[in-house]
Amino acid sequence: MLLLVPLLLFTGLLALAYCRLAVSRTIKGPRHLPLLGATLEAMSTVDRHHDWITDYAYKFGTFEMTLGVFPAWRRLIYTCDPANLQHFLKTNFNNYYKGTFAYELQNEFLGKGIFNSDGETWKQQRKAASFQFSNTVLRRHSLQCFRKNGLKLANLLAEKIASQQNQVNMSELFMRLTFDSICEVGFGVEMQTLSVSMPILPFAAAFDSANVIVSTRFFNPFWKLHRFFNVGVEAKLKKDVLLLNQFTSTLIQKRREEINSNTSHGMSKNEHSDLLSRFLVMDKESAIDDANVRLRDFIINFVIAGRDTTSIALSWLLYLVSNRPQVQAKILQELQGIWQKKVEGNMQYLEDHSHENQACCNKCIEAYGASLDFEALASMQYLHATLCETLRLYPVVPEDGKMAYQSDVLPDGTHVNRGDVVIFAPYAMGRMKNLWGIDALDFNPERWLKDGVFEPQSPFKFSAFQAGPRICLGKDFAFLQMKMTAAILLKSFKFHRATNDDVKYRMALTLAMSKGLEMFVEWR
């Protein structure tokens, strides 16, 4: 008799699962199993998840799956239809939010930062960040910082060539470049990780580890159980987050002390060029503990926005152009034309030297970097097109989703129930022939140009920077650093793949390369 109740309960759950399965057989998407939905198939394809999603997008355009263990599973609707994107990212924006599903998965890592928050919390952060990003002082400071670190990377590569250690992992160097830049622009701290000694940075290792672990929760229906018993990767995540919190706490305390010292010497709040200082000044009326939590979340979210995104995009750019001499030739032609307009009197000297004298080479790099101002970077139409083509095929954030607050119907007729998560996948969208033509899989920067001038696409078609009210605030800053760095490096060096192995992405919140990008570098 005692066994009857659990037996009946299990039988009822199984019956409900089969009913759900019967319905799901009529729905476009992966095959669903009783109690598990598409969880097993999703787990078995985790190493090629974005291509797995692309395969179903090819077949159906919009499709659905359920992940988790019944009855605690979640219905996910994937779509590559620009009209659908415009609907839930803009037109009916108030009905779609990050939701509890995403928040639970990422809370320990991202907290209530701008990438993981909703409602008033998100609105306040968005408003404050938007105000700061429009600040002229920040833009000038960012340009100077991006130039300085781009030149530092070029000089490091020059030293590698001089010492005949010219095989380098460019993904790692780009990560160091963007980490130094984001710490200086965002937090007013010079980390100096981009140096010949290549110092080990525990924060970066913990950050990358946490990024991967929270993304794999998406496919693991038992992650809460692992967290409860503090085992496996969940135990590792706990240690990673502790290290991240220690780093951010020290950083906040240091900046707070410096601001107080500067204020006592008559420095106004508008003179602070880094974002953390400006947010600290704005938040000085709040309780310190509350402010520290908000600022911790700001730092972590800002690092993932400014470090990971730009460095990953630069890695994929170098990967794509390194074996396409025709694309490189067009980039160089554009860079050469801009350079000629800036320093015509120095052209002969700067082009004819033989790279035998490193001091001479460094002088040339410095001179070229100094010419890259806002006007020069804005005139790089072909390079801008090449970057957009890179992000079309390898978007830094390969998929993102929103939870429905109330039931809805998408423009293509797909029914959305309350609590469903609607996901757009820039990685898959960039490969859709109905959006980009029969050559959608080809790397072709010319598709972005009309009479030699860059022609942007709808953000609901090219969704690498999101769209609608949540469109990326740092888009212009990202292009600023990517163009600055790419111009300096491609003008000065030739890059060749060090191995013929396939370059694969790793499963994380961002589309990083699983083993980095090993390249041989030589003078151009």
Residues making up the binding site for heme: 472
Q: For residue 374, list its beta bridge partners.
A: none
Report the half-sphere exposure of 362 (CA within 13 A, side-chain side): 14
Going by the DSSP 8-state scheme, the letter that residue 89 receives in this structure is: I
Instruction: For Cα atoms 509, 511, 516, give the angle at the middle one, nearest 5 degrees.
Output: 125
Report the half-sphere exposure of 48 (CA within 13 A, side-chain side): 10
For the chain, the distance separating the N- and C-terminal CA atoms, rounded to the nearest angstrom, is 82
Instruction: For Cα atoms 273, 278, 283, give the angle at the middle one, nearest 5 degrees.
Output: 170
C-beta neighbour count of 358 within 10 angstroms: 14
Tokens at 276, concatenated: 């953390």
- How far are the Cα atoms of 72, 194, 523 from residue 170, in angstroms, in the given order? 42, 12, 16
Strands 421-424, 74-79: pairing kind: parallel
- Residue position matching structure tokens 């759950």: 13
C-beta neighbour count of 116 within 10 angstroms: 22
C-alpha 378/C-alpha 145 separation (Å) is 17
- How far are the Cα atoms of 68, 132, 484, 520, 521 from residue 496, in angstroms, in the given order? 43, 40, 21, 5, 7
Residues in the chain: 524
